[in-house]
Amino acid sequence: MKKKRHIPPDGLAGPQRYLAVATISLGTIMTAMDSSLVNIALPTIAGEFQISASSSVWIVNASQIAMLVFLLPLGALGARIGYRRIYLGGVVVFLTGSLLGAFADSLTALVAARALQGIGGAGIVGVQHALVRAVYPASRLGRGMGINSMFVASSSTIGPTVAGAVLAVASWPFLFVINLPLGLIALVLGYYVLPWNERAKERFDVKAAAMTAATLGLFVLAIDSFSHGGDPLAAGIEFAIAALIAVVLVKSQWGHPTPFLPFDLFANRMMALSLLAGQCAFIGQLLTFVTLPFVLHNAGFGQVQIGIAMTPWPLTIALTAPIAGILCDRFAPSLIGTIGLVLSTAGLLLLAFLPEGFGLYDVVWRMALAGLGYGMFSPPNARQIMHAAPKHRSGIVSGLLGTNRLTGQSIGAALAALVLTVAVTNAGFVALALGAAMTAIGASLSLLRAPRAKGA
């Protein structure tokens, strides 16, 4: 039997750390690139299966909803049975979903495969930050978060390019096949180099996990229905049921000596402000990503130009995040994060007030400024959140980080859809101004952390 390697008091050292980082990065690449790969192929898949564009959206939604539903439960379970087990199990499930997706011959089969990918992705993402914390010494935690953010951003950037290259020479099932070598390498490396964590002694609260999953799943379904012009009554019922379950969940967890949801950690000012600041940033990001292509299309930009114009944001995040990670290990993370969101706010305001007859360059440098700010904010914010939690609670907080991102993006997408429906004539300005307002609120929340951030 393989001997368990427990986490040293302050991270891993030498080659094992670098190989562990490589393993975590491979999982990050697979999950971050996944959605952008499939998005590019949606028209092709819809045509082959002879389904409507609205029906094809479920190919994307199935994975996102499944991931959101399982993120927190799997993050919490990782503390109980080991982050390593959850991560490697997530890779196995993700690869199984990829293989089934490659052989899917109907919408139902493909949606089921995508849901399986989402569950596997939840296992990977749900313990990702907990593993980063375990692998890196506390003095270099920001650097670890920066590297993780770099791979998320760069994978999102190259996803459409990879998808385009694959579809130019092969059919869409090969978009799922390319996950297999990445996942297999991650499994082999992970088996040998990922460390074990000390297991939490508290039992896994199955009831609380189920209620959490139901609340988040219904919440996102309601938002998705609302943003895509679904039945308002159905969306309202979903919201109401989600709210009812949430009330019962909070009541059962409040005052609990070992709560499933970290309500006790929310009392930590640093944790609460960091999560709220992150939520505002994610909302602002999706408001921009959803509405800006429509603004550019209406201005006469072609598909290639729109793609070029959207690239600087994730590209500058990939370039900036590792540097921000190093800086936040040396200086107050809250200050670096606040400066980042101020820059993002400036970039979004400049996008909202694009001059008459603007060209590609006018958009590119503004998007680069917004992405630069976001890259400066994300690693310090993740570091603050993980650092504010006790090590034995890293799993649930890691899942909370992923949940925070996905819910923020869902709300941002829903707000963008609402703006595009209501403010038809000036939707671009309204959405970008609203995105700037959200990032400005996030910057204000980030700044509030400053007095107590030194040494955090």
In Å, how far are 87, 88, 124, 193 from 177, measured between CA atoms? 20, 19, 18, 25
The predicted pLDDT at position 113 comes to: 94
* Closest alpha carbon to 435 in 281, 276, 294: 281
Predicted TM-score (pTM) of this structure: 0.80
- pLDDT tens profile 326-354: 888 888 888 899 999 999 999 999 999 99
- pLDDT tens profile 18-31: 888 889 889 888 88
For the domain made up of 261-456, give the CATH fold.
Growth Hormone; Chain: A; (1.20.1250)
* Closest alpha carbon to 449 in 251, 208, 211, 276: 276
Q: For domain 11-201, give the CATH superfamily.
A: MFS general substrate transporter like domains (1.20.1250.20)
Q: What is the domain partition of the chain in residue ranges?
A: 11-201, 206-258, 261-456
The predicted pLDDT at position 365 comes to: 95
The predicted pLDDT at position 294 comes to: 82
The identity of residue 46, as a single letter, is A
In Å, how far are 69, 220, 253 from 247, measured between CA atoms? 17, 17, 10
The identity of residue 338, as a single letter, is T
The predicted pLDDT at position 456 comes to: 44
The predicted pLDDT at position 453 comes to: 42
Residues of the chain with pLDDT under 50: 1-3, 452-456
The predicted pLDDT at position 435 comes to: 93
User: Is-same-fold flag (11-201; 261-456)?
Assistant: yes
Residues in CB range of 381: below 8 A, 6 or more apart: 274, 277, 278, 281, 333, 337, 446
Maximum C-alpha span of the chain: 69
The predicted pLDDT at position 2 comes to: 46
Integer Cα distance of 39 and 376 in angstroms? 27
In degrees to the nearest 10, what's the CA dihedral of 393, 395, 398, 403? -110
Integer Cα distance of 158 and 149 in angstroms? 14
Integer Cα distance of 454 and 146 in angstroms? 19
* Residue 301 φ then ψ, to 5°: -75, 140
| Residue positions counted in the chain | 456
CA 441 to chain centre: 20
